Structure 1
Amino acid sequence: MTTSVTNQDALQLVVAVHRLVRSLRQSASVRRLQPTQLLVLAELAAQGPMRIGEIAVRALCSQPTATTVVTGLESSGLVRREADPADGRATIVELTGAGRDTIVSLAHGEAELLCERLSRLSDEERDHVRSVTPLLRRLADPPRAR
């Protein structure tokens, strides 16, 4: 049996996910970062050093926005730019120790808060949330070119 998803269903999911993430971030008692800054740090932590163009693709923003975000993170000591060994004209961006500590601290703080909220659910509801996590990860990945 195939069930179609309406735009309203999708909108409700988008709103719920945004509200959840926003409530976790507002409640966390750690360093405040803009959503794009957090996304850039998370991508660098997960994927390793990369060029600004790749950061823009992964953070789903324009290259000028990625440059601005990286400049702000760099001035805060969370990332640094290095010459790209493969192309001396280009630079790569990498996390600093402070950047890695920040992303880990944010992730742990938000995870602790979410764990507390999940504990209020029934066993069946928690199992359901766990089963949906891999699907949400797949939906979060940008579509690949065919």
Structure 2
Amino acid sequence: MSTEPEPGLRADEAVRAMLLLMPRLAARLKRTPIPERLRSFNLAPRHLSLLSYLLFDGPMVVGELATRLQVAPTTVSLMVSDLTKQGVLQRRSDPGDARRTIVDLTEDPETRAAIESWLAGGATAWRAAFEPLSPEERALFVRTIETYEAGASGD
């Protein structure tokens, strides 16, 4: 199988290529092992997104996480509460507004390292895929995947 991009794919050729590629990609993602340190936490894909935001963007308030995850703040609060009880996350009051709660990854070095290693493989693969592309091509790819996701989910 060639890894070189096909110049000028017709729409039906691109659809065929993606229909063949996506199941392999999904299968590969499912086979990505959860680090031993995190296995007992019963983490789901939605947790992966939440952990990714906190790892890459740092601590944030529940409302911001809800906006980014495109779910209700109560859903994020439940996820945060569950992961805090398990020692994956920590919460603290916002010093600027005590009504707001700031969420962050745990300070436990073993758990934090497990989260980082779990996400590192995907980040490395995406960096390799995006490196040869221009910023405009990267943006186009991200918008294309977002459009596909919205269309596939019926939004």
Give the TM interval when normalised to the shorter protein: 0.5 to 0.7
Q: Residue deviations 1:33-61, cap 9 Å, x none?
A: 22222221121011011111211232343
Quote the RMSD (CA, aligned, Å). Answer: 3.8
Shift of 1:101: 2.1
2:104 equivalent to 1:94: yes
Tell me whether 2-11 or 55-64 shows the greater mean CA deviation.
2-11
Equivalence for 2:153: none
- Structure 1 25/11 Cα, relative in aligned 2: closer, same or farther at 3 Å? farther
2:11 equivalent to 1:4: yes
2:34 equivalent to 1:31: no
Which ranges in structure 2 are unaligned for 5 or more consecutive residues? Answer: 1-7, 148-155
In 2, Cα distance between the equivalents of 1:11 and 1:52? 36
2:29 equivalent to 1:17: no
CA contact (8 A) 2:66 2:76 kept: yes
Q: Residue deviations 1:76-109, cap 9 Å, x none?
A: 111111111232211110111234223123235x
CA contact (8 A) 2:59 2:102 kept: yes
Which ranges in structure 1 are unaligned for 5 or more consecutive residues? Answer: 119-128
Shift of 1:137: 10
In 1, Cα distance between the equivalents of 2:68 and 2:31? 23
Aligned residue-pair number:
126
Tell me whether 94-103 or 28-37 shows the greater mean CA deviation.
28-37
- Structure 1 68/136 Cα, relative in aligned 2: closer, same or farther at 3 Å? farther
In 2, Cα distance between the equivalents of 1:66 and 1:13? 32
Task: Could you list the structure 1 runs, at least 4 aligned residues long, displaced by more than 6 angstroms after superposition.
Answer: 5-8, 140-143
Tell me whether 30-39 or 42-51 shows the greater mean CA deviation.
30-39
Shift of 1:132: 5.4
Equivalence for 2:92: 82
Shift of 1:136: 9.3
In 2, Cα distance between the equivalents of 1:72 and 1:131? 34
The alignment-based identity, stated in percent, is 25
